Amino acid sequence: MTAPEDESVSWWLIGPVSELSKKQCRLLYSSDGRDADVCLFYVSGDFFAMDARCAHSGGPLCDGDIEEADGVLQVFCPWHDYDFNLKTGKSSTGLQQRVYEVKLDDGNVYVKHQSELSLQPFSQVKET
Ligand code: FES
């Protein structure tokens, strides 16, 4: 028996693997506005998705350096250098960045998220 899916969360088609694997990180715009944007990382043959704004003070994680230590892939926030595990979103500082499931289907990348995601900005985002 499986738990019922949260109906507000959906899989969003982002684009073809062949394109998205050309860059280490893409910013995915959220229909919920800037604070819900997501980073889609492509590192060592795998995709990872996490909130684009750092849980510390909102730094742009897409611009962070990525390093591997003891088999753990981490992104370092460009603002204060906090580390976040790409898979779990955990930081050695105790902060937790939200991460999202990614799946590949028929050559395309999908990300599971509570709001619509797009490589292009939404024309009407909620002002915060
Ligand atoms: S804003 Fe990311 S470490 Fe401070």
Does ligand 1 come within 6 angstroms of the Cβ of 59?
yes
Domains, the chain, ordered by start: 10-114 (2.102.10.10)
Amino acid residing at 101: E
Task: 103-108: list long-range contacts, CB under 8 Å, 24+ apart.
Answer: 103/11, 104/17, 104/47, 107/16, 107/17, 107/18, 108/13, 108/14, 108/15, 108/16, 108/17
Each residue of 101-125: pLDDT tens digit?
Answer: 999 999 999 999 999 999 999 976 5
CA 88 – ligand 1 centroid, Å: 17
Can you give the C-alpha Rg of the chain in angstroms? 14
pLDDT tens string 23-74: 999 999 999 999 999 999 999 999 999 999 999 999 999 999 999 988 899 9
> How many angstroms does the Cα of residue 71 sit away from the middle of ligand 1?
23
What are the Cα distances from residue 106, in Å, to 16, 18, 113?
9, 11, 20
Q: How far is CA 56 from CA 6, 22, 78, 94, 98, in A?
A: 27, 29, 11, 10, 12
Q: Give the Å distance between the CA of 52 and the centre of ligand 1.
A: 11
Closest atom of ligand 1 to 77 CA is: 2
- Tell which residue, 105, 89, 15, has the closest CA to residue 54: 89
Residue 61 CB less than 6 A away from ligand 1: no
50: its two tokens: 């996490």
- For the full predicted model, state whether its pTM sits above 0.75: yes
- Ligand 1: residue whose CA is nearest its atom 3: 80
Greatest alpha-carbon span in the chain: 44
